[in-house]
Amino acid sequence: MRRRRLGRKLRALREAQRLTLEDVAEKSDNTFTVAKLSRLELAKSAAKSADVVTLLDLYGVEDEELRGALLSLAREGARRGWWHSYRGVLSPVYEDLISLEHEAATVRTWQMGVIPGLLQTAEYAREIITATAMSEAVESRVDSLVDVRLARQSVLTREAPVKLWAVIAESALHTRCVGAGVMRDQLGRLLERGQRPHVTIQVLPADSPPHAGQMGSYSLLSFEEGTDLDVVHAESLTSALYVEDPLDVGVYRQAFEELTSVALSPELSADRIAEIREHIK
């Protein structure tokens, strides 16, 4: 993802100077070949910081903020995130999701049966992870997986938080958890988080008409550089799917827009959540 974002920016800067790949190769005194430049722009190989500096100089980029941002993208490809300390616990696919959430500007999620992970309490997360653990290997890692799920939520409390827009099926609010008060506390968490300016929560009523969301839950992660870098994450019991093709991602984006249009407004959603919470014994 970082390679794609960097490659897209470098290509845009080159084209703004009306330079072809051949022009840049010539200007660089053969420091770059056409093939190497193409690989960098298409994210087929990682860019070294020195290469990025050379290209920015060739493209006449003097904006220090932009230079710093692009150099950061080049360096961060090798940087270890907090989740790397859980290697051996997390699958590579799950690590990808955490990394994408960390980089995302906006996360839009539709959930049919559970509260979104970024909004879960520890007790609720434990019950969900335990209930969906379909192997002894996962069962032995429940405590660590709960820790990871809570750590993921730091993207909502950092200085520049992720904007989260969650549409949740009403049925997910009626889950009968084993632990006393678990669901009551979880719904209270939704009410509290929904008051934050960067969090939007909508409830899709149980009596809603047929909709595209019935085909499955998913999350759409968006980045500052543009919609062509949006990624969809769809998870199942045994695997997860990442959708990156812009046309396919557009289908999920349209489906989410339709879901938000038939779901209750954030205000009415909060009322529905509070009403359900009041009836939990």
Q: What is the pLDDT of residue 181?
A: 93
Strands 218-222 and 199-204: unpaired
> Distance between CA atoms of 181 and 191, rounded to whole angstroms?
15
Long-range Cβ pairs for the range 188-193 (8 Å, 24+): 188/277, 189/119, 189/120, 189/121, 189/124, 190/115, 190/119, 190/273, 191/270, 191/273, 191/274, 191/277, 193/119, 193/156
Q: What is the pLDDT of residue 227?
A: 66
Q: What is the pLDDT of residue 90?
A: 83
Residues 151-195 pLDDT 10s: 999 999 999 999 999 999 999 999 998 887 999 999 999 999 999
Q: What is the pLDDT of residue 80?
A: 63
Q: What is the pLDDT of residue 103?
A: 86
Q: Which residue has the tokens 């062509």?
A: 228
Strands 106-111 and 218-222: antiparallel
Query: In what helix (H) or strand (E) does residue 156 lie, and over which residues does it extend?
Result: none
Residues 49-58 pLDDT 10s: 999 999 999 9
Q: What is the pLDDT of residue 207?
A: 95
Q: What is the pLDDT of residue 220?
A: 97
| Residue ranges, CATH 1.10.260.40, the chain | 2-76
Asked whether 144 and 89 are in contact (CB, 8 A), the reply is yes
| Residue ranges, CATH 3.30.870, the chain | 88-278
Q: What is the pLDDT of residue 133?
A: 83
Q: What is the pLDDT of residue 56?
A: 94
Q: What global pTM score does this model have?
A: 0.79
Q: What is the CATH number of domain 88-278?
A: 3.30.870
> Distance between CA atoms of 243 and 251, rounded to whole angstroms?
11
Retrieve residue 127's tokens: 């019950």
pLDDT in tens, the chain (281 residues): 677 778 888 998 999 999 999 999 998 887 899 999 999 988 888 888 999 999 999 999 999 988 888 888 787 655 667 777 777 788 888 888 998 898 899 999 999 999 999 999 999 999 999 998 877 767 788 999 999 999 999 999 999 999 999 999 999 999 998 887 999 999 999 999 999 999 999 999 999 999 999 999 999 999 876 666 789 999 888 788 899 888 999 999 999 999 999 999 999 999 999 999 999 87
Q: What is the pLDDT of residue 65?
A: 84
Which of helix, strand or coil describes residue 225? coil
Q: What is the pLDDT of residue 124?
A: 97
Q: What is the pLDDT of residue 5?
A: 76
> Distance between CA atoms of 54 and 213, rounded to whole angstroms?
47
CATH (one of 1.10.1270.20, 1.10.260.40, 3.40.50.720, 3.40.50.460) for 2-76: 1.10.260.40
